[in-house]
Every structure is written in structure tokens, then in C-alpha cells.
Amino acid sequence: MNRVFNFSAGPSMLPLEILQQAAAEMTDYHGCGMSVMEMSHRSQEFKEIIETAESDLRDLMNIPENYKVLFLQGGGTLQFSMVPLNLLRDTKKADYIVTGQWAKKAAKEAEKFGDIRIAATSEPDVYTYIPKLEREDFRPDADYVYITTNNTIYGSRYNYIPDTGDIILAADQSSNFLSQVYDVKDFGLIFAGAQKNVGPAGVTIVIVRDDLIGHCPADAPVYLDYKIHADKGSMYNTPPCYSIYMAGLMFQWIKKQGGVPAIQKHNEEQAARLYDFIDNSSLYRCPVAEEDRSLMNVVFVTGDADLDKRFVAEAKTQGLVNLGGHRTVGGMRASIYNAMPDEGIDKLIGFMKKFETDNK
Ligand SMILES: *Cc1c(COP(=O)(O)O)cnc(C)c1O
């Protein structure tokens, strides 16, 4: 077996032990004579899989009882539509903080459904920081405020939760779900596509307070109504069964690591090692404001686009793959989600040192 260290922004690395468990269970899941891929979503076996996944996630995040957990399809992208469709329930106003391309896309989509105001954007500074907003920066009659807690492309994250008073806060946590401790009660809604931190692509997890369910316009496509999914336990139609099974294995793995606080500590240590190295080097530079740097996506550049390209190509020959920055920004990006082992960080720093010496 020749596994590489995969720094892809998503889909991304999964723990080897989970892949091996899935492989062992592939053709005959727990003696039922078939794969989870072949199983009816109405079967007893799958019922157990989805119920265990939900209860493990509730434990991990301390999700209060008045929040529903939904396992949906359509990725983060479909949530860009579902959030406004369901949450624009009164004045049809919402305030968005735009801290990257994903937030910008979300705001643009929401404009189809209501009166959307950009409360702040760091776009003029190429999204290198997170605006600090306070309660008076939001329209008091807004139905919700929207943030992207971690900016996958630009490598920044919120180091604070904006105080929105009694306005609902909705958060896209696609790229830092279960990577640090959050208090679910600070949010009316959290969503995350699985493929960055919790499994393969295909399932999107939505955690939504139950009083925010049931406001979707009657003429909206049925799939887009949270109520349908909440009432049917995410089984209104066939859910992404195999992705839910894999996310469930990942939840168990996170529990085994000591839960989210332990994962957060580990992620902080890994990120600090990389940022310290970058800040002390004479070749590399991180463009993101120090206090807003992401724990998940470490962005850096040499300042020379050709050298950046060579870095990415040479790293690949060393088994350090997918280190190129997003196609729109270039440079380098090391995505170090929950499953990245310490050896991956060691090896990356070792390579960066050597590349720096070789290119002095
Ligand atoms: C990847 C990503 C998305 C888009 O997810 P899809 O599942 O591809 O639709 C949305 N938001 C953030 C923060 C992301 O990182």
C-alpha cells in the first residue's frame, strides 16, 4: 500500500482505519449478506446506521433537543438556496457577511428570495481578514444573519461569534465542521457538506432549531422544505445512504480521539506548527491576518508564481499531494482537516525546509 498525504481542500483525506473498516464491511455488512450500498434505506440495518450517526453527532456537538439534525443531498450549494427559502420567514430581510467566494455565492443566491444586504465584505482586501461586526451593524428586523465560519479558499476563519442579539445566526460550517468546539445554541442553523471533515461527498448535514422549520413557501420544490425532511427523519426520499454510513464511522472515530475538544487541540497544534514555520521562513508568507487564520486551510505563497508551481509539482513527487491553491488564487494551500496525521505535517514542513534551502 502506498498512501500519500493528501492536502486536498475537498473531498479530502479520511483516516486509514475508517477506510479499512469500510473495506472489511463492504461486501457483507454485519452478517446481513450485503453491502450498505445495496441495502434498502427502509431496512432495520440502515435504520440503525442513520440513528446511530445522528445520536453520535448529537453527543459530539451537544446538540440540544429542540434542534433537528437532517441528512440531505445537494451539498453546501443547495443550502445557499434552502437557507433563504426557509429562514426568510417574516420581513424577508437577511444580512450577509461576505468573507470569501462561498459566502459571496450564498448571498447572490439568497438575493433571488428576499432583501439581502451585505453587512460587510473583505473582498477589496482579497478576503485576507474577517470583519469584526457588532449588534448595531445588523438590521434589527432581519430574519437572519449569515456567516461562513471557515473560508476554505482564502484560509481564514472567524475567531469570534458575531453578537446578533435576538436575530437568528445561520452558519456555513462546511470546511470546519467538528474541527473545533461550537455552542450550537449560538446558531439557529448550521450546515456542512461532509466531504471536507466528515466523510465522502454526498451528504450535507443541517442542524436547525425547530421553530425555524415550517416557513418554506408552499410553491417551493418539495425537496427544499426542511419540514418535509424533519418530519420524515431524513427519509422523505432515498437519502445518501453510503455517505451517511461513512459519516457515522467518522463520528465514532472522532469520539475515539476524545471528542471535539481533543480534536480542536490537535488541530490547533498542527496549524500552529505550520504557521510558525511559515512566519519564521524567509521564502514563504501567509497573506491572512494573524488572528483570523484558519485551522483547516493553511494558505501560503513564495511571491513568485513560477516558484509556487514548482513547489506544488515537487511536493507531489514526495507523496505530498494537492498542495496547489484554489484555481482562482494560486499559491499554495495545505488543507489539514481532522484526518490529517501528524506525520503529514512533519513531512510537509521537512519538504518546505528543503525547498527553501534549494531555492535560496
Ligand atoms: C466546499 C464548500 C461549499 C460548497 O460545497 P458543495 O458541497 O460543493 O456544494 C460551501 N461552503 C464552503 C465553506 C465550502 O468549503
**How far apart are alpha carbons 289 and 337 in whole angstroms?**
20
Nearest CA to ligand 1 atom 5: 76
CA-wise closest residue to 10 among 75, 107, 98, 70: 75
pLDDT at 360: 82
Catalytic residue of the set 56, 143, 172, 292: 172
Q: Give the ranges where 25-93 is alpha helix by DSSP (H).
A: 44-61, 75-87
Percent share of the chain, pLDDT over 70: 100
pLDDT (mean) for 46-72? 98
Binned at pLDDT 50, 70 and 90, residue 176 comes out as very high
**How far apart are alpha carbons 152 and 139 in whole angstroms?**
27
Would residue 172 show up in a list of annotated catalytic residues for this protein? yes
Per-residue pLDDT tens for 308-332? 999 999 999 999 999 999 988 899 9
Atom of ligand 1 lying closest to residue 151 CA:
13
pLDDT at 67: 98
Per-residue pLDDT tens for 78-93? 999 999 999 999 999 9
Per-residue pLDDT tens for 118-130? 999 999 999 999 9
pLDDT at 357: 97
What residues pair up with 57 in beta bridges, in sequence order? none
Type and span of the H or E element at 34 = none
Check whether 22 has a pLDDT greater than 90: yes
pLDDT at 45: 97
If you measure from the C-alpha of residue 83 to the centroid of ligand 1, how many angstroms do you get, rounded to a whole number? 14
Q: In this structure, are residues 295 and 180 in contact, taking their beta carbons and an 8 Å threshold?
A: yes
Q: The C-alpha cell of 275 is what?
A: 504557521
Cβ within 8 Å of residue 22, ≥6 positions away:
245, 246, 249
31: left (phi over 0), alpha (psi -120 to 50) or beta: left
Following DSSP, what letter does each residue of 121-188 receive, concatenated? E-GGGTT-S-----GGGS-TT-SEEEEESEETTTTEE-SS----TTSEEEEE-TTTTTTS---GGG-S
**How far apart are alpha carbons 237 and 100 in whole angstroms?**
33
pLDDT (mean) for 104-116? 98
Q: In this structure, are residues 287 and 299 in contact, taking their beta carbons and an 8 Å threshold?
A: yes
pLDDT at 178: 98
**How far apart are alpha carbons 251 and 9 in whole angstroms?**
20
Binned at pLDDT 50, 70 and 90, residue 132 comes out as very high
pLDDT at 30: 96
Ligand 1 pocket check for 76: Cβ under 6 Å: yes
Neighbours of 214 (CB within 10 A): 13
Type and span of the H or E element at 355 = helix 342-358
Nearest CA to ligand 1 atom 12: 174
Nearest CA to ligand 1 atom 4: 76
